[in-house]
Amino acid sequence: MGRMGVAGDERQLLCQLFEQVGPDAPTLCGDWRTRDLAVHLVVRERRPDALAGKLIKALSDRGEQAEQELRELPWGELVDRVRQGPPKWNPMSLGGVDEAVNAAEFYVHHEDVRRATSGWQPRPADQAREEALWKSLGRVAKVFYSRSPVGVVLRRTDGTEIAAKRGPRTVRIMGEPSELIMYAFGRKEANVTFDGNEADILAMEDLRRSF
């Protein structure tokens, strides 16, 4: 498989994993199974009617119907819709937009399936993937940590930092970009370490970061 960018690579790898584990495998997304995650990804890219139903009460019935239609698809067909990606009318179909918006989304959801089973192992290092995820983290860090009661700095292993939230006291979260972004998305199964006052670390950890 040639490199298509991290978003494209992770999409294809996730779809391969979907096919291996089936529609009822666990994920790190609460009580979602793999079918729920696949429906979420298709709704996000291809079904604005269902997405609108989540945001606008008057359209909730239409949204629920659209989601139910997707749930009733054969598993292989649903996975194919995830694999195909957004249609041409969606700006995310453009390569640069796809990479900016979806690199983190698909990396995290791929790991949501990988890490939901016992005995999972970290993937081999991939510098291009780490750089892309660091860029993604730079775009979203301030949003993810905006409600932190203390300052938050994200520090990768080479010493580069992102100031996610400024405050009178600071907690540093340290790790590879791929692990920092898993933690930012609220996943406990992330290999990160902390530097700071213990009470500040606990206050920051209590923050609900999952989106």
pLDDT exceeds 50 at position 47: yes
Q: Compute the distance between CA of residue 137 and CA of residue 175 in angstroms, rounded to an integer.
A: 12
Specify the pLDDT at position 55: 55
CA dihedral 171, 111, 211, 39 (to 10 degrees): 180
Specify the pLDDT at position 206: 79
Average pLDDT over residues 41-54: 67
Q: Which residues of 82-121 are buried (b: 16+ CB within 10 A; e: fewer)?
A: beebbeeeeebeeeeebbbbbbbbbbbbbbbbbbbeeeee
Average pLDDT over residues 188-192: 93
Classified by CATH at the fold level, domain 127-205 comes out as Nonspecific Lipid-transfer Protein; Chain A (3.30.1050)
Q: From start to end of the chain, where are the E strands?
A: 151-155, 161-165, 170-174, 193-195
pLDDT exceeds 80 at position 9: yes
Domain ranges of the chain: 6-114, 127-205
pLDDT greater at residue 57 or residue 171? 171
pTM of the model: 0.86
CA dihedral 94, 100, 105, 110 (to 10 degrees): 80
| pLDDT tens sequence across 130-168 | 999 999 999 999 999 999 999 999 999 999 999 999 988
Q: Compute the distance between CA of residue 92 and CA of residue 5 in angstroms, rounded to an integer.
A: 13
Q: Compute the distance between CA of residue 78 and CA of residue 170 in angstroms, rounded to an integer.
A: 44
pLDDT exceeds 50 at position 199: yes
Specify the pLDDT at position 63: 64
pLDDT greater at residue 208 or residue 71? 71
| pLDDT tens sequence across 64-89 | 777 888 899 999 999 999 998 877 65
Specify the pLDDT at position 127: 95
Average pLDDT, the chain: 86
Specify the pLDDT at position 152: 96
Q: Are 154 and 136 in contact (CB under 8 A)?
A: no
